[in-house]
Amino acid sequence: MDIVADNLTITNAIVADAVQRLDPTPIQNIVRRCEKAGAGMIDINSGPLTRKPEKLMTFLVDSVRKASNLPLLLDSSNAVALEAGLRVCLGKAIINGFSLEPDKLALILPLARKFETRIIGYLLYPDSNVPADGAERLTVALELYSRFSEAGLAPEQLIIDPVIPPLLWQNGHTQAMEVVNVIRTLPDLLGFKVQTIAGISNLTTGPGNQAQKPVFEQVYTAMLAEAGLTMALVNVFHTGTMAAIRACNTLISTKVFSWL
C-alpha cells in the first residue's frame, strides 16, 4: 500500500490561517513532518475554495512543492481550483476526485483527460449519499466506470474510493466489512486490476474511546491490505497505524523477509 498523508487539510486551523495569510511556512512544516513520518504522497485538501480558487490552490501547491518532491493529490470539489493546481503540477498530480454527482461528472472528470492524469472516483450516489451495502456499492462502481470510460479515459487512470463509514453510524461496523469485500471484488467485477484508495481516519471519526480508536484503525488497515487496497489515506502522525501499514507491506511483499 502506498501511504498518502491526509494531514494537510483546510479544516486544520493552522492550515486555514496560513492560507488566509498566504504564509507558506506552517504548511511546509507540516509537509516536512509528514515526509519524515513516512508519507509517500501528500493529499492537499483545500476544501471548496469558493473565493480566489486559482490563487489559493496555486499557493498551496507551490508551498508544498518547495518543501517536498512527494507526489500530490489535489483534493477539492472546485473544478477551477483543481485545474489551477494541475497546471502548476504540469498535470502530474492525482485528482481527488469525482463521483456520480452531475457537477463533478461535467466539470471535474474531464480534467483527467485534459491533463492525462489519474483521478479518484467515489462510490456515492448522484445525490452524494453513501450506498447502504456492498451490493449497492458495486452497482455504483459499474455506473461510475461506465461514465469514466465514456469520458475517454483508460482503466489505469481510475482509482476507486469505496468510502469507509464511521463506526458510529447505525450500521457502521457492518458497512466497514462491506467495504473490505468491495475492494476484494472490484477486479473481478470490472475486469482489470483496479487501483483503490481508502480514508482510514474516517473509521474512527467522531467522539469515542480514545484508547480504542488506534486499535480499530490498525486492525482495519490490515484487513484492507489483505483485500488488496492500493493506497491508504491516513494521518501519518498516528504512529501505531503507520507501523501496521509497514508490517502489512512487509507481509505482502515478494522480497526475502528480514527483521532488519
- What DSSP letter does each residue of 210-241 carry, written as one string? TTTHHHHHHHHHHHHHHHT--EEEE-TT-HHH
Residue 257 lies inside a defined structural domain of this protein:
no
Q: Which three cell numbers stand for residue 147?
A: 461514465
Residue 108 lies inside a defined structural domain of this protein:
yes
Residue 259 lies inside a defined structural domain of this protein:
no
Give the residue numbers spanning the domain of 158: 2-252
The pLDDT value recorded for residue 180 is 98
Residue 126 lies inside a defined structural domain of this protein:
yes
Residue 260 lies inside a defined structural domain of this protein:
no
Tell me the CATH number at 221.
Answer: 3.20.20.20
Residue 68 lies inside a defined structural domain of this protein:
yes
pLDDT (average), residues 197-202: 96
- 59-97 burial, b if ≥16 CB within 10 A, otherwise e? bbbebbbebbebebbbbbbbbebbbbbbebbebebbbbb
pLDDT digits (tens, 9 = 90+) for 73-115: 999 999 999 999 999 998 789 999 999 999 999 999 999 999 9
What confidence tier does 211 reach under pLDDT thresholds 50, 70, 90?
confident
Structural contact between residues 209 and 162, judged by C-beta atoms closer than 8 angstroms = no
What confidence tier does 119 reach under pLDDT thresholds 50, 70, 90?
very high
pLDDT (average), residues 232-250: 96
* CA distance between the termini of the chain: 20
The pLDDT value recorded for residue 260 is 62
Residue 6 lies inside a defined structural domain of this protein:
yes
The pLDDT value recorded for residue 13 is 97
CA-CA distance, 10 to 44, in Å (whole number)? Answer: 9
Residue 12 lies inside a defined structural domain of this protein:
yes
The pLDDT value recorded for residue 123 is 98
Q: Is 223 helix (H, G, I), strand (E, B) or coil?
A: helix
Q: Which three cell numbers stand for residue 213?
A: 480508536
Count of structural domains, the chain:
1
Residue 209 has pLDDT above 90, yes or no: no
- Can you tell me which residue has the cell 468510502? 163
Q: Is 249 helix (H, G, I), strand (E, B) or coil?
A: helix
Beta strands in the chain (DSSP E): 2-5, 41-45, 72-75, 94-98, 119-122, 158-161, 195-199, 231-234
